[in-house]
Amino acid sequence: MLNPRLAGRYAKSLIDLAIEKDLLEEVYRDMIYLNRLMKQSPELVSVLRSPVITEDKKLKVLDALTAGKVGQLTTSFTHLLVAKSREVFLQDITYAFIEQYKEYKGIHSVTLTTAVPVSEEVTKAIVHRLREDAGMKEVELEAVVQENIIGGFILEADGRRVDCSIAYDLANLKKQFSNNDFIYRIR
């Protein structure tokens, strides 16, 4: 992030306005759309960050990409950003908005990393356990497959990480053997 404090302030203002106008869900969908658009198009991010390209051209590019796909509040917000020369931070603002929305709604983002794809039953069981044991009412689970963990799983939620992978256990064993933890040291 270029400026997380600025992005957080703009995102908070947009959330407050969206709540006031009862458009929170619409603006959330718009922010997801803009976020995906910028992830898929580094050229768009370059255009928005370019000091050479004029405000009018940046507005035309944004309007062409968002016409009919985002609501009036989001369009007005992007126009305000360009007018205030803050369009450079649009991607950061979308990230901040999505995070603040999830916090407002009590949605917990959880990442489950496994060596092989997990079944729907296992996914539901994990979500159920998180709701019961961790007190997470709303869980948004993302399943990721990384063969290099060999087996087991890694669960990340709310800044915490539980690593029960075989690769982690093997790394710990390697460390213990390299330190000779199993040999009594004589001076």
User: 66 — phi, psi (to 5°)?
Assistant: -110, -5
Domain range enclosing 61: 4-103
Mean pLDDT of 81-99: 96
Helix/strand/coil for 159: coil
Domain end call among 65, 81, 103: 103
Total number of domains in the chain = 2
What per-residue confidence (pLDDT) applies to 185? 58
Same domain, 84 and 30: yes
Tell which residue, 76, 49, 50, has the closest CA to residue 63: 76
Residues paired with residue 113 on neighbouring β-strands, in sequence order: 144, 154
Distance CA 62, CA 79 (A): 9
Same domain, 79 and 161: no
Name the pTM for this structure: 0.80
Distance CA 129, CA 43 (A): 42
Same domain, 28 and 51: yes
Helix/strand/coil for 86: coil
Q: Give residue-wise pLDDT tens across range 154-166.
A: 999 988 999 999 9
Q: Which helix (H) or strand (E) holds 107?
A: strand 107-114
Whether residue 185 lies inside any domain: the answer is no
pLDDT bin (cut points 50, 70, 90) of residue 184 is low
Tell which residue, 30, 38, 165, has the closest CA to residue 98: 30
Whether residue 146 lies inside any domain: the answer is yes
Q: How far is CA 130 from the centre of its chain?
A: 19
Domain end call among 52, 87, 103: 103
Whether residue 132 lies inside any domain: the answer is yes
Q: Which CATH number covers residue 21?
A: 1.10.520.20
Same domain, 92 and 116: no
